[in-house]
Amino acid sequence: MDEKACRWADELYHVLWAYRTTPCISTRESPFNLFFETEAVIPVDVGVSSPRVINFNEQFNGDGLRANLDLLEKAREESRIRVAPYKQKVSNYHDLKIRPREFRAGDLVLRKATMSQSKKVGKLSPTWEGLYRVKEDAILSNSLIALSP
């Protein structure tokens, strides 16, 4: 087995750290910052003499962290406000790609089998069932239409 493939568990910590400390597109905040209301000091900054490490004062740090905790809910609310238009843009982009389909009364259609099954039967089970006849004219985008067997 390849040596790199065996070390994925060792690299997982670094990948998770990078994910948690990188700002998201939608919130413009890192998950770490939204949870703790403080920016994370990356391990490289600790090893190298960065301004953040040089100017660290433990007493002021505790006071700053308490002040940040008071502002945490405000930062989370601002993040929620920024997410709303982002979600709307994503939704609009998705909706552009959906083509509505017209069904006329009497057309024969298939129905997704998962609609009538309460649980997954297995991977070899059929995905579609039917033939069903459409009862009335309908334009389908993401909604269901009336069918009769």
What are the tens digits of pLDDT across the range 81-97? 988 888 999 989 988 88
Predicted confidence at residue 52, as pLDDT, reads 65
Q: Do 91 and 116 sit in the same domain of this protein?
A: no
Q: Do 110 and 127 sit in the same domain of this protein?
A: yes
Q: How far apart are CA 73 and CA 131, in angstroms?
A: 54
Q: Do 116 and 71 sit in the same domain of this protein?
A: no
CA angle 141, 146, 149 (to 5 degrees): 125
Predicted confidence at residue 42, as pLDDT, reads 66
Q: Do 122 and 83 sit in the same domain of this protein?
A: no
Domain with 13 in it:
3-96
Backbone dihedral region of 12: left (phi > 0), alpha (psi from -120 to 50 degrees) or beta? alpha
Q: Do 89 and 110 sit in the same domain of this protein?
A: no
Among 96, 115, 135, where does a domain finish? 96
More confident position, 91 or 116: 91
Q: How far apart are CA 5 and CA 131, in angstroms?
A: 48
pLDDT category at 146 given cuts 50, 70, 90 is low
Provide the domain count of the chain.
2
The strands making up 128-134's β-sheet, listed across from edge to edge, are 108-112, 128-134, 147-148
Q: Do 75 and 126 sit in the same domain of this protein?
A: no
Q: Do 18 and 40 sit in the same domain of this protein?
A: yes
Which segments within the chain are labelled E, that is strand? 101-103, 108-112, 128-134, 138-140, 147-148
> What is the percent of the chain with per-residue pLDDT over 70, rounded to a whole number?
79
Q: How far apart are CA 83 and CA 27, in angstroms?
A: 6
Asked whether the predicted pLDDT for residue 149 surpasses 60, the reply is: no
Q: Do 115 and 142 sit in the same domain of this protein?
A: yes
More confident position, 55 or 79: 79
> What is the percent of the chain with per-residue pLDDT over 90, rounded to a whole number?
1
Predicted confidence at residue 147, as pLDDT, reads 57
Asked whether the predicted pLDDT for residue 29 surpasses 70, the reply is: yes
Q: Do 38 and 92 sit in the same domain of this protein?
A: yes
| pTM of the entire predicted model | 0.42
What number is the average pLDDT over the span 26-47? 75
Q: Do 114 and 72 sit in the same domain of this protein?
A: no
Predicted confidence at residue 22, as pLDDT, reads 85
Q: Do 77 and 12 sit in the same domain of this protein?
A: yes
What number is the average pLDDT over the span 67-74? 76
Mean pLDDT computed over every residue of the chain: 78
